[in-house]
Amino acid sequence: MSNEERSSGDFGLGEAFAGGDPYPAYARIREEAPTHFNPAVQGWIVSRYVDVAAAFRHPGLSANRMGAYARVLPPPLLAKVEPLIRNLSSWILMMDPPAQTRIRSLIAAAFTPRFVEALRGRIEHIVDELVDAVAGEESFDVIASIAYPLPVRVIGDMLGVPAEDHDRLKEWSDALATFLGIAKMDPAIVAKAVRSIVEMEGYFNQAIAARRESPGDDLISLMVAAHDDEGRLSDQELVSSCCMILFGGHETTTNLIGNGLHTLLGHPEQAALLRSEPAHIDTAIEEMLRYEAPVQRMGRLSATDVELSGTTIPAGQRVYLMLASANRDSAEFPDPDTFDITRKGSRHLSLGVGVHYCLGAALGRMEGKLAIAALLRRFPALTLDSARPPEWINNITIRGFEHLHVLTGAAAS
């Protein structure tokens, strides 16, 4: 296929996103044009495992893509979206070393495996409460009842956010998720994201002021101390980190639980195996992350010309590392389209690589394991509700469900 032919079509990617099943398009891209400019996303697609893994570590690919976004906006529009760009630019997800390293090292202390293990009892308690609330029901929505409230309560506890504020914070976070996953700029979506970030910053600035008056043992107090006593965080980095932790602390885990349970119940033989041999839960969670990545792609900006497997991406281009495509690459994973909870040695890319490896990976894994194991244990006859099929959220970056209805096997009361 010529370069002209490659650049003239999107390989079905736009239609695949709209239809909720991008995997056939990913397979075609890996085969026909593994690294190419794609009009569906107005950027370069990197689809094969070896290239995505290399791109994460490539010094010529910058995570700081908000600056590039700002540079192409006309001044009147830039003024309107400046609060959003300013905040997101200080997320460690969108920063490069050494600034990224400095902030990450500070926050990382709250997400070590040892610290997360100490949270196990609290997480188990929340899971039991949530499952108890739907026990005896004939049907329930996994997202609304379990997958959303669990991680929001856990990260809310860590930040010291009152339970009554969770829904408001979730609404703001959803607006950001929609903005980060739209294929084309929509003025209404951008405006809502700007309003949300302004309101979220106001909320966290009040929380920061309260911690200065009365410090606690929560993450906000830890970051306030780093700002006030150690000078390790600027004012913007402090409030941006609060927003990022709230967003990252629940969005991926919600979709890990929803996507994972949907996939498991869609493969009854695998669900039966996990029920009979619960020790497979660790490899099951990794396979869920590989098979249905909660984050489908990760954005980068080419700071220099970048060569990947013989293809050169020019400097100044938007680049999308297709994590979900890499996770289905047969060069890395035997029978990649087979869901196998006993798969061992899976080096999926769903949580990133290197300095950009997901900070909350250990926490998300634990929440996913405890939630899914509890649902299988408490509802031995749990199945998908075929009368109420799930709908994928309309987002090309974040993959998950609006609702996921299941049948418990319990008789209606």
CA proximity to 405, closest of 138, 223, 214, 149: 138
DSSP state of 308: E
Interior/surface letters 19-39, b for 16+ CB within 10 angstroms, e for the rest: eeebbebbbebbeebbbbbbe
- Residues with Cβ within 8 Å of 245's Cβ and at least 6 positions away in sequence, in order, are 107, 155, 158, 159, 219
| CA pair distance 72, 79, nearest whole angstrom | 13
**Under a CB-based contact definition with an 8 Å cutoff, are residues 292 and 264 in contact?**
no
| CA pair distance 351, 359, nearest whole angstrom | 9
DSSP state of 305: -
Sign of CA dihedral 22, 57, 347, 370: negative
Please give the structure tokens belonging to residue 402: 């609006």
Helix axes 268-276, 361-378, angle to 10 degrees: 90
The one-letter amino acid code at 4 reads E
pLDDT at 18: 65
Q: Give the class (CATH, top level) of 75-294+332-407.
A: mainly alpha
Please give the structure tokens belonging to residue 83: 């609060």
The one-letter amino acid code at 184 reads K
Pairing, β 318-322 against β 297-302: antiparallel
**What is the full DSSP assignment across 385-399?**
-TTS--EE-S-SSB-
The one-letter amino acid code at 82 reads E
322 three-class SS? strand
Q: What is the value of pTM for the model shown?
A: 0.92
pLDDT at 8: 45
What is the distance, to the nearest Å, from the Cα of residue 55 to the centroid of all Cα atoms in its chain? 19
Query: Which residues, in sequence order, are bridge partners of residue 62?
Result: 301
Parts of the chain with a pLDDT under 50:
1-8, 412-413
Sign of CA dihedral 98, 103, 106, 111: negative
Q: The tokens 């997480």 sit on which residue?
A: 123
3-state SS, one letter per residue, for 35-104: EEEECCCCEEEECCHHHHHHHHHCCCEECCCHHHHHHCCCHHHHHHHHHHHHHHCCCHHHCCCCHHHHHH
The one-letter amino acid code at 12 reads G
What is the distance, to the nearest Å, from the Cα of residue 165 to the centroid of all Cα atoms in its chain? 22
pLDDT at 243: 94
Residue 261 burial by Cβ neighbours in a 10 Å radius (0-12, 13-18, 19+): buried
pLDDT at 404: 97
| CA pair distance 156, 160, nearest whole angstrom | 6
pLDDT at 399: 93
pLDDT at 6: 45
Domain ranges of the chain: 75-294+332-407
Pairing, β 306-308 against β 311-313: antiparallel
